């Protein structure tokens, strides 16, 4: 089952000039936890303010978020948050948002959600990242749940003995092999049910190379039809449905 959205790690953090400016697949944080409009105001690269937005699904995952002054150097191992659209070069910013991206298998824990609140509010089970605009920025972290790869079935091997029973050439595609399904068998010492041999094996019987086959009482189709009143309707119907070249 798919993980709930709040349990899926973030894969990106961005700033959008307006809610409609965020690309497809990104979720815009338009309100705070109190329900107030979450416009960050001026100072984030866009004249009309901006909105935080996040993306989920895929890799790498966000393991940390920092909000720093525009004068602070970019932290090692962090990348600048995406901006939609990319603002004009040289436009002043009060603060920048940085994210740390790590492959899921190396992450351990990741950021699962971001929330904005009033600066005086505390959010249980969340870590305060800092202040951005007129709000406090919070994140919720949790373990990265890796999906186990589906087991690959081992290829089935066919013994040499079974290959000899195939009606196809040894080098042909195994999926096209038609194995000899026994017709009603005749074992006088057992249940007396008739059977016939495929013509390929009649030579073995006539040559006497197979003592087991030579000891069997082999009857023709006509003998079986007459003696057991067995018309081979099922077998003939099945044979008629086989594609050309199989038999």
Query: What would the pLDDT profile of 35-55 be if each residue is shown by its tens digit?
Result: 999 998 865 655 667 899 999
pTM for this structure?
0.56
16-25: average pLDDT:
92
Q: Who has greater pLDDT, 174 or 185?
A: 174
Using the CB atoms, write b or e for 183-201: b if 16+ within 10 Å.
beebeeeeeeebebbeeee
Indicate left, alpha or beta for 118 from its phi (over 0: left) and psi (-120 to 50: alpha). beta
Residue-level length of the chain: 247
CA 52, CA 181: separation in Å to the nearest integer? 68
183, 208 Cβ separation under 8 angstroms: no
The two structure tokens encoding residue 195: 């059977």
What's the chain's average pLDDT? 76
Burial of 142 by CB count in 10 Å (0-12 exposed, 13-18 middle, 19+ buried)? middle
Query: Per-residue pLDDT tens for 104-145?
Result: 999 989 999 999 999 999 999 999 999 998 899 999 999 998
Compute the C-alpha angle 140/40/20, nearest 5°.
90
Looking at residue 9, its pLDDT comes to: 94
């Amino acid at each position: 089952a798919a993980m709930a959205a709040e349990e899926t790690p973030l894969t990106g953090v961005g700033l959008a000039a307006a809610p409609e400016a965020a690309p497809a697949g990104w979720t815009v944080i338009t309100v705070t936890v109190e329900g107030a409009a979450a416009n960050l105001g001026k100072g984030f690269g866009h004249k009309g303010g901006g909105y935080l937005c996040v993306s989920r699904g895929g890799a790498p995952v966000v393991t940390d978020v920092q909000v720093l002054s525009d004068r602070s150097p970019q932290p090692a191992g962090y990348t600048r948050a995406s901006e939609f659209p990319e603002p004009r070069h040289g436009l002043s910013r009060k603060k920048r948002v940085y994210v740390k991206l790590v492959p899921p298998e190396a992450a351990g824990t990741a950021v699962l959600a971001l929330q904005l609140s009033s600066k005086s509010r505390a959010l249980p089970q969340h870590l305060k990242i800092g202040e951005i605009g007129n709000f406090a920025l919070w994140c919720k972290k949790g373990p990265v749940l890796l999906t186990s790869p589906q087991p690959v079935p081992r290829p089935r091997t066919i013994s040499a003995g079974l290959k000899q029973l195939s009606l196809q050439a040894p080098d042909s595609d195994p999926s096209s092999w038609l194995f000899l399904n026994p017709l009603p068998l005749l074992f006088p010492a057992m249940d007396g049910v008739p059977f016939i041999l495929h013509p390929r094996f009649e030579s073995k019987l006539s040559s006497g190379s197979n003592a087991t086959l030579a000891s069997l009482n082999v009857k023709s189709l006509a003998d079986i039809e007459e003696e057991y009143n067995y018309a081979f309707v099922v077998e003939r119907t099945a044979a008629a449905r086989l594609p050309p070249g199989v038999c």
